Amino acid sequence: MPSMKTIAVFEALPSSDPNCFVVVEQDIPEAAGRDLLIRIDAVSVNPVDSKDRLGISGRRDTPLILGWDACGEVIATGDQVENFKVGDKVISAGDISRQGSYAQFQLVDERITAPKPAGLTDLQAATLPLTTLAAWEALFDRLELPTKNAPEKPAVLIIGGAGGLGSMAVQFARQFSCCTVIATASRPETQAWCRELGAHHVIDHSGDIEAQLQTLGYADVPYILNCSDNIPYWELMSRLVSPEGAICLVASTKAKLDLDLFMEKSVRINYMLMFTRSLFQTKTMQLQGDLLARLSGMISTGKVRHVMTKDLGPMSPASLAQAHAQIKSGRTVGKIGLSALRDQAS
């Protein structure tokens, strides 16, 4: 059976450890059902990659292949595939329950896959899938932001607007809702980035967010998307959110949080996991492929832009360790891209 190279992890080593990532030979998987076998041409790294690596307990007996952002070419299709053919260039955020994209080849379900957006390089396209889906679903499926047809312009506060998820959320909120977009960023360059992406206002989350909002004329805000850790902002969000407002959280929290802080205001608290639809094979799974397919139009009309800011070269244990260290630092602007392992399968 033909084999491929993958870059795997076995235990929760720090990214500075030379054995954090190792090259492992594995069989190339076979496409069946609605699966596409993709040759990986470029990938991007997300916080979930680091979270899953550091969440390993002990040492695994089998390699874990991370990575859930990819651009590549379809080289085989399952017998139930309807919308793609061999040779198509595609993007996908994959499925967290399956092996990821730190590999030469990957299986992805066609329902969470879309054609590569026109006009982008493989690297640029690879930085889009996960954050596109997470940002759109957080804003419009969970928070239910009003569209441009609504008469009012309520405020949405995006905490952590300069990271990968925040960068897409700022663009979507500005272009596809009628909201006033308020992003948080703590450095001059990240504040400028948020404004460039369309934020109406940018405030410093290292300072007094409540006072800065009041200076802008907001005693509270009806919508909050927290792209950062929950604990530092938990009590603050309970004060900032409007009565009958909504909050969306994207980070997991092991600590117990006081939900009663939000009871008096009847606040709706939503969790957002981009992988829910693929994990549970929900009836709405195809919506993810449909949304990714809309990216070409969004990009060609200038409504949305890619947010790749750093190219770390080909995937290798060293370059992936560098990417994970950058993600862990919490100072990433936009997204990191890496090109593929170029050795051909043996």
Per the DSSP assignment, residues forming a β-bridge with 64 are 9
pLDDT tens readout for residues 257-301: 999 999 999 999 999 999 999 999 999 999 999 999 999 999 999
**Are the folds of 3-128+280-339 and 132-271 the same?**
no
Cα separation, 106 vs 156, whole angstroms:
37
Architecture of the 132-271 domain: 3-Layer(aba) Sandwich (3.40)
For residue 31, give the DSSP letter.
Answer: P
The CATH T-level fold of domain 3-128+280-339 is: Quinone Oxidoreductase; Chain A, domain 1 (3.90.180)
pLDDT value for 289:
98
- Using CB atoms within 10 Å of the CB of residue 36, give its burial: 0 to 12 exposed, 13 to 18 middle, 19+ buried: buried
N- to C-terminal Cα separation, the chain: 9
Q: 3-class SS at 184?
A: strand
Residue 29, SS3 per DSSP: coil
Q: What is the dihedral of CA 325, 329, 335, 337, to 10 degrees?
A: -10
Give the pLDDT confidence score for residue 155 in this predicted structure.
98
Dist. CA 90–CA 166, nearest whole Å: 24
Within 137-216, strands assigned E span: 155-159, 180-184, 201-203
pLDDT higher than threshold 50 for residue 345: no
CB-based contacts of 89, cutoff 8 Å, min separation 6: 41, 71, 72, 73, 74, 115, 116, 122
CA 206 to CA 236: how far, in whole Å? 13
Task: State pLDDT tens for residues 216-225.
Answer: 999 999 999 9
**236 DSSP 8-state letter:** H
Question: What average pLDDT does this structure show over 31-57?
Answer: 96
* Nearest by Cα to 248 from 232, 230, 276, 224: 224
Structural domain boundaries of the chain?
3-128+280-339, 132-271
**One-letter amino acid identity for 118?**
A
Per-residue model confidence as pLDDT tens digits over 151-181: 789 999 999 999 999 999 999 999 999 999 9
Share of the chain residues as helix, strand and coil, in percent rounded to the nearest 5: 30, 30, 40
Structure tokens at 165: 């998820």
DSSP state for residue 179 in the 8-state scheme: P
Tokens of 259: 């939900």
What's residue 148's pLDDT?
77
Ramachandran assignment for 302, one of left (phi > 0), alpha (psi -120 to 50 degrees), beta (any other): left
* pLDDT band (50, 70, 90) for residue 346: very low
Here the tokens at position 3 are 């084999």
Number of helical (H) and strand (E) elements in the chain, helices listed first: 11, 16
The pLDDT tens digits for 308-332 are 999 999 999 999 999 999 999 988 9
Per the prediction, the chain carries an average pLDDT of: 95
Looking at the chain, the whole-number percentage of residues with pLDDT higher than 70 is: 99
Identity of residue 50: S
pLDDT in tens, 12-25: 999 999 999 999 99
Specify the pTM.
0.95
